Amino acid sequence: MAAISVALTGNPNTGKSTIFNELTGARQKIGNWPGVTVDKKVGLVEYKGRKISVVDLPGTYSINARSQEEQVVSDYFAENKPDIVVNIIDASNISRNLFLTVQLMENGIPLILNLNMMDEAERRGIRINEQKLEEIFGMPVTNTVGRSNKSVKLLLDVFTNTRMANYQPSEIFQQHLARVNQIKASGQPQEKIDEEIITARYDFIDKVMDAAVTINAADKGLTEKLDSYLANGVSSLIIMLVAFYLLFQIAFEWIGQPLADMLGEFFEETVAPWAAEAMASAGVAEWMQSLVSDGIIVGVGSVLSFVPLIFTLFFFLSFLDGTGYMARVAFVMDPIMRRVGLTGKGIMPLIMGYGCGVPAIMGARALDTHKDRMISILITPFLTCSAKVPIISLFAVMFFPDNAANVIFALYFVGIATAILMAKVLGGTAFKGRQSTFLLELPPYRMPDMKTVLLETWDKGKGYLIKAGTIIFAMSVAIWFLSNFNSDGMTEEMNESYLAGIGSAAATIFAPQGFDTWEAGAAVVTGVLAKEAVVTTIGILYGADEDAVDTDDAEGTANVLMATGMATAFTPLAALAFMVFTQLYSPCVTALGTIKKEAQSWKWMAFAFLYTCAVAWVASMLVYQVGRLLGF
């Protein structure tokens, strides 16, 4: 007996993914739809001897093909004829959710209407007459509580017993469809046609609501009470800042970063020496020992050391999203974000960028349009990620001891101002087009389904490992080779390596910035591998003992370096120019690899590298040259 093919569709935040996870559990595959970065989720379940293949389509408010999600859903139904299409509706927001239902039916797609979160609807005083809905739409109507295994089994019964051919749109809907077709054939301008069709849909939905839904307006639930503080007024901004401060404290101070440090030390201090000793005992050539232990293990280990941080961050972001709060953040920030050419959703990747550029770039996939996603991806590298903090802290303490805090604050501002400026420039040039519309349903607050939170965390974390790891592996080998070889072969002196040669070449490029030494050039090059490497490289090349260079202790490292040649290698003005350059130039290779995967193009990865370097070069040159003109 052939497998039953089922497609789940619906608005975002309707519990659709929760139902999919309850149906398929671990028996699901995650990939990307062809040509886009939107997740493709397919699962398999067996029930009463029948195999059921389930596709979880991206959450969308319509099928007008304006966003990647809308395009995926539109293309799917144009190219596929599943046995059953289930439209998951948040019963507590039924009026808004029915807009997609009407669109799907206008396109001749037979549906099962599933009212999810019926328990929340009842708590909010919403009563739905399912039989009346079934009569009006001419389709089966079911109800579920997404996290209830019992209601999911009832849904499986519907899949195995329903014959969609037995259901036909009602006469009431046929009348609506005739009106829509009449509008399409009216010969009016397309914009006018679209407006009238939308009006017709909402008129039909109003009739449905009058006939099948009753709402007790006196039942003011928890959501409305919380939104008076969390989604309105000055209090909403204060609470948002506190919430994200705590989130980043957890991810980058209390849990994620300490675990990342432990994992990094494990690779560097345990795995690499063990591998080196094992290879030495086996008589492996020294260059191979160095490649494996110092290049591959340390390089790949640097990627894996991000894993606890990535998983911690995504876990708490998924948890907050599951509560319904993330929708409020986008709503609150929308008026502010529109000033830089993005919508409220664009705030999330930028906030994450202050911790690490990698999850920030990956977070851009949540934005609605290609324009918004690409602008967000390309401005994120200008923000002050945690890896840049040791650089600006070290130079601020060393060269501006009396004003270190002010200088550090100024560098944060430089990053923000540059990101805003480039968002404007990119929005008016490479990604020119009208500003995105912002349609957002504010879901009710609820306790997240932990199964869904954990699965989402795993999916995103696994994607980081797969997408960034392969490119980092290649980059690690390349950097190892450059720092250990010259034209005569392998060298023990770094200042005789290809890296030193590259640093010398870079020195000529940075003459207008005042830091035209090969050591500074080499630090810039190693900083592409990881921004943390800038401080370590500077310290080693200027003669400090490697153990004395602590990226977490700017003041202590500065005191050590004051006794070396670095104190005279930079003037305060050149040091400031160097800080500006390292603040703005190329993302690290991990972030570059993520840009390649998210943008699905080597071209955009190369563009991100080149244009950020160009912006950083111009900005740092202006700092140095204007400073000289002013007598500094």
Distances in Å between the Cα of 515 and the Cα atoms of 38, 396, 561, 566, 583 are: 44, 16, 16, 11, 15
State the Cα–Cα distance between residues 111 and 103, nearest whole angstrom. 11
- pLDDT above 90 (res 612): yes
The pLDDT value given to residue 181: 93
Do the domain assignments include residue 109?
Answer: yes
339 domain residue, yes or no? no
Establish if 402 belongs to a structural domain.
no
How far apart are alpha carbons 536 and 390 in whole angstroms?
Answer: 10
Of 188, 215, 242, which marks where a domain is finished?
215
Q: List Cβ neighbours of 244 (8 Å cut-off, separation of 6 or more).
A: 351
Q: Is the pLDDT of residue 387 over 90?
A: no
Single residue among 171, 199, 215 that ends a domain in this structure: 215
Q: What is the rounded average pLDDT of the residues 158-165?
A: 76
Cα distances from 26 to residues 72, 84, 144, 148, in angstroms, run 24, 22, 21, 17
Q: Does residue 622 sit within a domain?
A: yes
Across 24-33, 120-129, 133-142, 182-191, least confident range: 24-33
Sequential DSSP letters for 79-94: H---SEEEEEEEGGGH
Q: Which tens digit of pLDDT belongs to each residue from 219-236?
A: 556 777 888 888 888 888
Q: What is the mean pLDDT of the chain?
A: 81
Is the residue at 228 inside a domain?
Answer: no
Is 12 domain-assigned? yes
Mean pLDDT of 21-28: 77
Q: Who has greater pLDDT, 521 or 456? A: 521
* Under 8 Å between Cβ of 452 and 309: no
pLDDT digits 0-9 by tens, 112-141? 999 998 888 888 888 999 999 999 998 889
Q: What six digits make up the tokens of 15?
A: 């519990």
Q: Say which CATH number the domain at 63 has.
A: 3.40.50.300
Q: How many domains does the chain have?
A: 2
In sequence order, the 6+-apart residues with CB closer than 8 A to the CB of 220 are none
Q: Has residue 201 been placed in a domain? A: yes
CA distance 169 to 177: 10
Domain assignment present for residue 52? The answer is yes
pLDDT value, residue 476: 64
pLDDT given at position 567: 66
CB contact burial 176-205 (16+ within 10 A = b; e otherwise): bbebbeebeeeeeeeeebeebbeebbeebb
Q: Which residues pair with 32 in a beta bridge?
A: 39
Report CA torsion sign: 90, 91, 93, 94: positive
* Bridge partner list, 489: 486
Answer with the one of 164, 184, 215 that is the final residue of a domain.
215
Q: Is-contact 586 353, C-beta < 8 A? A: no
Q: What is the DSSP string of 10-73?
A: E-TTSSHHHHHHHHHTT-EEEEE-TTS-SEEEEEEEEETTEEEEEEEPPP-S--SS-SHHHHHH
**pLDDT for residue 176:** 94
Enclosing domain of residue 624: 469-601+614-629
Query: What's the predicted TM-score (pTM) here?
Result: 0.61
**Cβ of 523: how many Cβ atoms within 10 Å?**
26
More confident residue, 395 or 578: 578
